Amino acid sequence: MIKSVIFDVGGVLQLEKGMKKGHSRSIHERIAKFFDLDVDTWFDAIDSVYARSMEGSVKENIVLKTIAKNINVGIIKLEEVIFKVYQDNFKRNDELFDFAWKLKKKYKIAILSDQWHASKKVLIKNKDARRFDVVVISCDVGMRKPNPKIYQLTLKRLGLKPEETVFIDNRDWNTEPAEKLGMKTVLFKNNKQTFRDLRKLGVEI
């Protein structure tokens, strides 16, 4: 019996707007372009801190300070550009958020998402996060998908067994570890397909 529905954020609760498949590359291309850098130079500049930021092993101020120094811009300007690019290229999936609020009448709802410090601020607003029963963000907990431990942490915080949950993500390499743990999964493509797949799994909509 399903007792919880768990949502990813990027590409699920927050949808890409007019971007190529694989939002990370597109986002970084746009940031690089703003600073008149080729994307490889931008990735070199963030290489030492980006992945660590995603896993929460380096503080936000160190991330911004390091990148700003590497591309020779001010920290405030860097932060403004990063935030603007994320804001301009993602759109809140209002239909899916409304669906989550309705589910809360019968199920626990949760977020499980990989984010670095900068993207978290834009894509996971406090007013939305507060309405979920459990919120697990990689940069806050020191691990990221597809590490099985982050799924186990989410289950622990929900107080549920794997088979009592459904995890929705738009990447199959993130749903596969969940399935191996015994969680039900839905590979998100669009809202209509997701609602249909949830019904098949026994979620009352």
- 48 and 109 inside one domain: no
- For the entire predicted model, the pTM comes to 0.92
Contact 35, 137 (CB under 8 A): no
Q: What is the percent of the chain where pLDDT is above 70?
A: 96
144, pLDDT greater than 60: yes
| Phi and psi, residue 140, nearest 5° | -95, -25
Rounded percentage of the chain residues whose pLDDT exceeds 90 = 91
Residue 19 has pLDDT above 50, yes or no: no
Closest CA to 102 of 195, 23, 38, 28: 195
Indicate the pLDDT class of residue 25, thresholds 50, 70 and 90: low
Choosing from 89, 120, 139, the residue where a domain stops is 89
Q: How many structural domains does the chain have?
A: 2
pLDDT for the residue 22: 47
- Mean pLDDT over residues 157-172, rounded? 98
Query: What is the per-residue pLDDT across 36-93, written as a single tens digit (0 to 9) for each?
Result: 999 999 999 999 899 999 999 999 999 999 999 999 999 999 999 999 999 999 999 9
Query: What φ, ψ does residue 25 adopt, rounded to 5°?
Result: -60, -45
Q: Is residue 205 part of a domain?
A: no
User: What's the pLDDT score for residue 205?
Assistant: 87
Q: What DSSP assignment string belongs to 140-205?
A: HHT--TT-HHHHHHHHHHHT--GGGEEEEES-HHHHHHHHHHT-EEEE-S-HHHHHHHHHHTT---
Q: Are residues 176 and 98 in the same domain?
A: yes
More confident residue, 158 or 26: 158
In a domain, 194, yes or no: yes
| CB-count burial class (<10 Å; 0-12, 13-18, 19+) for 114 | buried
Q: Specify the pLDDT at position 90.
A: 93
How many residues does this entry show for the chain? 205
Domain with 56, as residue range(s), is 23-89
Q: Render pLDDT for 96-110 as a digit per residue (tens, 0 to 9).
A: 999 999 999 999 999
Looking at the structure, do residues 35 and 82 belong to the same domain, yes or no? yes
| CATH number of the domain to which 185 belongs | 3.40.50.1000
pLDDT value for 18? 64
Q: Give yes or no: residues 80 and 96 share one domain.
A: no
User: Within this chain, do residues 146 and 179 fall inside the same structural domain, yes or no?
Assistant: yes
Q: Do 145 and 152 contact (CB within 8 A), yes or no?
A: no
Question: What does pLDDT average to over the chain?
Answer: 94
Mean pLDDT of 134-148: 96
